[in-house]
Structure 1
Amino acid sequence: MNTTLAPQAAPTELLDALDRQLVHALALDGRASFSRLAAVLGVTDQTVVRRYRRLHGERLLRVIGLPFSDRVGISESWLRIQCAPGAAMPIADALARRPDIGWVKIQSGGSEVACVVRSYSADERDALLLQKLPRTQHVTGVTAQSLLHTYTTTTGQQWMDDSGLTEEQTRALARPCPDPGEETRLDAADQAMLAVLARDGRTGYPELARAAGRSESTVRRRLEHLRDTGAIYFDVEILPEHFGLTVQAALFATVAPHNLAEAGEALSRHPEIPWLAAATGTTNLVGSVVCRDRGALYTYVTERIGALRTVQQLEVVPVLRHVKRAGLLTDGSRLFEPPGH
């Protein structure tokens, strides 16, 4: 199913100032209660409920709960799949329907599909890379890079900084960053709960309890524990266009190994970079870039990235279309696409 925004309005016209503040607030704490959101934003509970229901009901926004792969034993690989002319869309659609695939994009002039594959074992990953993809008709080449370390978790909080939230409001909603700890093993009940949260991160505790087969109090405690230890996090899926960011690209950078952490930390602090990870291969930093327009992208590449002497080589590849976004266990439908996509 191809879900599009209402054709009568451009994406940047759909959110007013309060909508943007609410989106930013949810990016800071996706499960904050409506009453808490209302108190921080200085409006009534009914206003927040009405705004959220409109944004969610019109498929402009979705809160999702996802496992943080580095901390729950999930291995991730970044794939660049070269396709024969005209084959990118069917291949991207097929990949988007897989529950282990996220961030499916068509880029590089429409001849390349990029995605992230997540797996709990090498066998799961290898079945896709060594058997299924190589035998797929019209796939002419596959490049796979294992993701070693993610420098960012939530996507978009930095480029939402111009939403109008004050520093005091941001502090009131922001959760403390969890300290790195031991790997958390997710059991079957956790997996069932996450399957629901990946579709709607604001699902109530009664439904989560039914899915997990646990009591509401147990689910509440378990969810807070998983959040506090950094095993799972909550993110907001929304088109960057709603914040005036019309150009998206993939970034591939080469950095000397001894400079990798320094460069990764520096880039991850840039508001133009919603996601960044260290990876195997020659281009050992991979990420996403969002900018207001092509001129802003040029300025960012030449001035901001250009000022980082640790970056030796850089490839910036335009993203033509998002077929699937972050959700790990989504239904694979193309959510939140602007008109004409």
Structure 2
Amino acid sequence: MVTQSVTLDTLDRRLIHALQIDGRVSFSRIAGVLGAPERTVTRRYHRLRSALVVRVVGLVDSGRIGKLDWFVRIDCAPDAVDAVTAALVQRGDTSWIAPLAGGTRLTCMVRTPVAGCDGGRPLFDHLLRTPGVRDVEASCVLRPVAGVGGWAGRTAALEASERTALLDPAPEQPDDPAPARAEAGGWGEAEERLAGALALDGRADIAQLAAVTGWSAATVRRRIAGLRAAGVLHFEVDVDPSHFGFPLEALLWLEVAPAALAEVAQALSRHTAVAFAAVTTGRASLFAMVQCRDTGALYDYLAGDLAALPGIGRVESALIQRRAKRAGPLLLPAAIAQRPGERGGRGPGRTHRPQH
């Protein structure tokens, strides 16, 4: 996704932090917490979204709907990297696609059915048969351990009291119990359509979501509340870290002794440079995405915070050349024009903290 050159000011950063706390909280509530006019807050969000700088995306926990997440490394012939990247971008089961700097590899996240259903073998076999693809290495994500709930670089603009004001002290229990059973087979075609619409626009209004799912507006509200309460659905702010002064993105693969795995995972969850980390299968038991201001800062992280951790036997690192796709589906400018009557929120009713 190519974004326009936009400089985020203090209000922009505070707005982004508020949306990370609850991606569907109303603009009126955000305005009250930020001490800014509602029209200003609404206009800021739509300006940033129209410029492809910021958007809210709805994300589903793969494990709770019977799916697996994989971190995939693909080695290509030099003249095939762009074509393979472009093909992966268009798929609905891919995210976080990036060619790596200085080489012929690209990386991405892929969602597949569970291993008993074939564990994604058709996709991986298809990749291996793709012209120009020389090798595919897939590591299954066993457990995210850092970065869930938002990277620290974009969640430091609000005071503790402001963060609390955006949360409900006692989340309302959904009237419809079906969403809470999503892990046990309650995930159907209507939920898939709901998730697809929210992946495109996490702040899509209730009327639009009702049209997509075929549910009533009241049912849509109950289903979203239930899925969030069950940890099936959460909302993320999709924004390039370069807008926060961290243009260098690196990927790390850590080989960690089993006895030290839990300690290292917990430590990564506290490192502000780590945007995301997960325990995976494969040669490296831990994978991490790191955001830095420059190569010097990356060196300081590798030689300082990371080197101080026990049980790490080997570290492989790579710099990202560019992000062809982040968490949500690829958007074109025409697809993000504000719809008539769009309120950009969930309207009247209680709001809930995303379940990360």
Give the TM-score normalised by the residue count of structure 2.
0.85
1:101 positional shift:
1.0
Find the aligned partners of 1:55 and 1:78 in 2 and give their Cα distance.
29
Which amino acid in structure 2 is aligned with residue 112 of structure 1?
A: R
Aligned residue in 2 for 1:248 = 249
* Contact 2:194–2:212 under 8 Å retained in 1: yes
1:242-265 CA distance string (max 9 Å, x none): 110010011100111232222112
8 Å CA contact 2:153, 2:272 repeated in 1: yes
**Paired residue type of 1:30:** G
- Mapped to 1, the partners of 2:39 and 2:91 lie a distance apart of 38
Instruction: Confirm or deny that 1:73 pairs with 2:66.
Output: yes
Kindly, what percent of the aligned residue pairs are identical? 39
Within 1, Cα distance between the matches of 2:256 and 2:182?
A: 28
Per the alignment, residue 146 of structure 1 pairs with 140
Alpha-carbon contact 1:107-1:318 (below 8 Å) kept: yes
> Counterpart of 1:208?
209
| Structure 1 contact 155–236 (Cα < 8 Å) conserved | no
Q: Pairwise mapping of residues 132-143 of structure 1 onto structure 2 (< 5 A)?
A: 132-143=126-137
Q: Distance in 2 between matches of 1:334 and 1:124?
A: 35
Distance in structure 2 (CA, Å) of the matches to 1:205 and 1:275: 31
Q: 2:215 aligns to what SS in structure 1? A: coil
**Any conservation in 2 of the 1:154–1:234 contact (CA below 8 Å)?**
no
Letter of the 2:141 counterpart: L
Deviation at 1:181, TM superposition (A): 9.7
Contact kept in structure 2, 1:324 and 1:332, CA below 8 Å: no
Q: Deviations over 1:279-320 (max 9, x none)?
A: 111201012110111111111111111111132211111001
Identify unmatched segments of 5+ residues in structure 2. 172-179, 335-356
Post-superposition Cα deviations, 1:123-171, rounded to whole Å, max 9, x if no partner, equal: 36100112x11111111111111111112464644112443x1121122
**Does the 8 Å contact 1:247/1:290 carry over to 2?**
yes
On the 8 A contact 1:38/1:45 being kept in 2, the answer is yes
Task: Judge conservation of contact 1:83–1:138 (CA < 8 Å) in 2.
Answer: yes
What corresponds to 1:85 in structure 2? 78
1:175: how far off?
7.1
* 8 A contact 1:323–1:334 mirrored in 2: no
Q: How does 1:151-170 map to 2 (within 5 A)?
A: 151-152=145-146, 154=148, 156-163=150-157, 165-170=158-163
Deviation sequence 1:149-208 (CA, Å, 0-9, x none): 112464644112443x112112223579x9x99835421111111110000000011111
Structure 1 residue 334: Cα displacement? 11
Q: How does 1:187-202 map to 2 (within 5 A)?
A: 187-202=188-203
Report the 3-state secondary structure (helix = DSSP H, G, I; strand = E; otherwise coil) of the residue aligned with 2:249.
Answer: strand
Contact map agreement 1:322 1:334 (CA 8 A) in 2: no
Residue 31 of structure 2 corresponds to residue 30 of structure 1: no
Deviation at 1:269, TM superposition (A): 2.0
Aligned counterpart, 1:219: 220
Question: Hey, what's the Cα distance between the residues in 2 that align with 1:247 and 1:181?
Answer: 41
Aligned match of 2:42: 49
**Normalized against structure 1, the TM-score is what?**
0.88
Measure the CA separation in 2 of the matches of 1:334 and 1:34: 23
Is 1:72–1:231's contact at 8 Å kept on the other side of the alignment? Answer: yes
